[in-house]
A and B are shown apart, each in its own frame.
Chain A
Amino acid sequence: MSAFQAAAGRDDPHRIGHGRAPARSISGLAYKRIVVGYGFWIFLLSDIVMFSAFFASYAVLVGNTAGGPSGHDLFDLRNVALETGCLLFSSFTCGIASIGAQRRNGLWFYGAMAVTFLFGAAFLSIELREFVSMAARGAGPTRSAFLSAFFTLVGCHGLHVTCGLLWLLTMMAQVYAKGYRADIMRRVLCFSLFWHALDIIWVGVFTVVYLMGAER
């Protein structure tokens, strides 16, 4: 046992940290990877706070259909289940991609990123088709306060997924062009955090909007 581990054991006698010493760099500062991840986590939390405002406005306005269609008339739960499956599986393959990147395994990284992209794009195309068919039935965002709130909330999530897909392609290109450099790896870490956070927000969307809305 090195002196470092012994010191960590004194600081943490009940091994709350599972006996692992805190990951500190040589200078005693936290690793850049941890600092960058923390900073990006703060951004993600601010994004989640923004979504909470959209959720709140949706929940307030959900009954104000102005004589127009309600969620019960509009939502097709089979589509939503398909979307949920796509996003959940893409979140899983995104995790595989980050493992592939950490192990410098090109096949795993590029393969898993490509699968993530395909499932993310499938999610987006199902969502767009749903939006278009709703607008074609006269249930566009201008129809009622309920539909305005619906398109704002779900559309904002869709926009995030679109940005995520562009970022995904950028990360594949950067790893291809610059290799598994430390700074590129930190960007891959931030991207995977972003993609997982989108899936967390989607859990809220399919529960609050679709499952609670379809029964009304």
Chain B
Amino acid sequence: MSHSDDTDRLAGADTAPGDEPFDGYETEGIGSYLIGLVLATLLTIVAFFISRTTLVWEPSLPVALSVLAIAQMGVHLAFFLHIGTGPDSVNNVMALAFGVLIVLLVMAGSLWIMSHLNQNMMPMDQIMQMQR
């Protein structure tokens, strides 16, 4: 389709497959990094703030901190690593989704299994007695 038009337009240009056009490529502006910096700083300050005060109900603090951390990771991905909805990052998003799946399996699986092992384990003094 449009492929042949491009080839015609640039016939005679000495390029190899995958080469960039001569005038470089569209660059991400400084604005994206500034937005990222401001949002990440805000999320960090909130995380440190709620961990030192009693603003958040204490037992729910780990959940609140996790939510803030995941939000900040999202900010980093979007504004620093430029993983977005554009056609260039479709493959990156798929790889990221797979990576997130593995990370969740490793972390949730380990914690789940280990907490059950702890529950089902014989109390330590009884183990000591059996070893004698």
Chain A residues 156 to 190 lying within 8 A of chain B, measured CB to CB, are 182
**B24 — which chain A residues lie within 8 A by C-beta?**
102
CB closest residue in chain B, given A57 = B110
Interface string of A1-41 (1 = CB under 8 A from B): 01110111000100011101111011111111111011001
Number of interface residues of A (CB under 8 A): 68
Contact across chains for A49 and B106 when beta carbons are under 8 A apart: yes
CB closest residue in chain A, given B15 = A26
Complex alpha-carbon distance, A196 and B52, angstroms: 27
Chain B residues 43 to 102 lying within 8 A of chain A, measured CB to CB, are 44, 47-48, 51-52, 58, 61-62, 65-66, 68-69, 72-73, 76-77, 80-81, 85-88, 91-92, 95-96, 98-99, 102
Nearest-Cβ distance from residue A154 to partner chain B, whole angstroms: 16
Nearest-Cβ distance from residue B108 to partner chain A, whole angstroms: 9
Contact across chains for B20 and A96 when beta carbons are under 8 A apart: no
CB closest residue in chain A, given B33 = A95
CB closest residue in chain B, given A42 = B95
Asked if A109 is an interface residue, CB under 8 A from chain B, the answer is: no
CB closest residue in chain B, given A8 = B2
Q: A23-B87, A182-B19 are in contact. Are A41 and B5 (CB under 8 A)?
A: no
Contact across chains for B33 and A38 when beta carbons are under 8 A apart: no
Contact across chains for A84 and B44 when beta carbons are under 8 A apart: yes
Contact across chains for B106 and A52 when beta carbons are under 8 A apart: yes
Asked if B1 is an interface residue, CB under 8 A from chain A, the answer is: yes
Contact across chains for A52 and B103 when beta carbons are under 8 A apart: yes
Complex alpha-carbon distance, A202 and B63, angstroms: 18
Chain B residues 2 to 22 lying within 8 A of chain A, measured CB to CB, are 2-3, 5-7, 10, 13, 15, 17-21
- What would 19 A/B residue contacts be, using CB atoms closer than 8 Å? A18-B85, A18-B86, A27-B17, A28-B3, A30-B88, A41-B96, A46-B99, A48-B99, A56-B106, A57-B110, A59-B111, A84-B48, A88-B40, A91-B80, A92-B37, A182-B19, A193-B81, A196-B81, A212-B51
Given A84-B44, A84-B48, A95-B33, 16 further pairs, Cβ under 8 A: A2-B2, A4-B5, A20-B86, A28-B3, A38-B95, A56-B110, A59-B107, A60-B111, A85-B44, A92-B33, A193-B81, A196-B76, A199-B76, A203-B76, A212-B61, A212-B62
